[in-house]
Amino acid sequence: MATGAGLGGLVSVLMPLVGIVTMLKARNRRKRGLPEPVDTDFEARRAATLESQRRMEAYLAQRGAASYHVSEDDEQEIRR
């Protein structure tokens, strides 16, 4: 477990270095006019999120519309 303390400093140095390299690669790609890479996993997650949001909105709209509907049975119970 003594090596764990030494790795903390190494990670804090490597993460900014990875970020800088990533930015430089993206800059070179933009300068050369290459298209951005397509992230298929991200697109699939985004599509799934949009679908579940659409379903939730439809459910809430249906639920909200049904809550204001008073059936004849309920009206009879209210009158009693």
pLDDT digits over 41-63, tens only?
999 999 999 999 999 998 888 87
What is this structure's pTM?
0.44
Q: What is the pLDDT of residues 10-37, one digit of tens each?
A: 888 899 999 999 999 999 988 999 888 8
The domain ranges of the chain are 1-37, 38-80
Residue 1 has what pLDDT? 46
Residue 10 has what pLDDT? 82
Residue of 24 and 74 predicted with greater confidence: 24
- Per-residue pLDDT at 67 exceeds 90: no
What region, left, alpha or beta, does residue 69 occupy, with left being phi > 0 and alpha being psi -120 to 50 degrees? beta
Question: How many CA atoms, within 13 angstroms, populate the side-chain half-sphere of residue 13?
Answer: 5
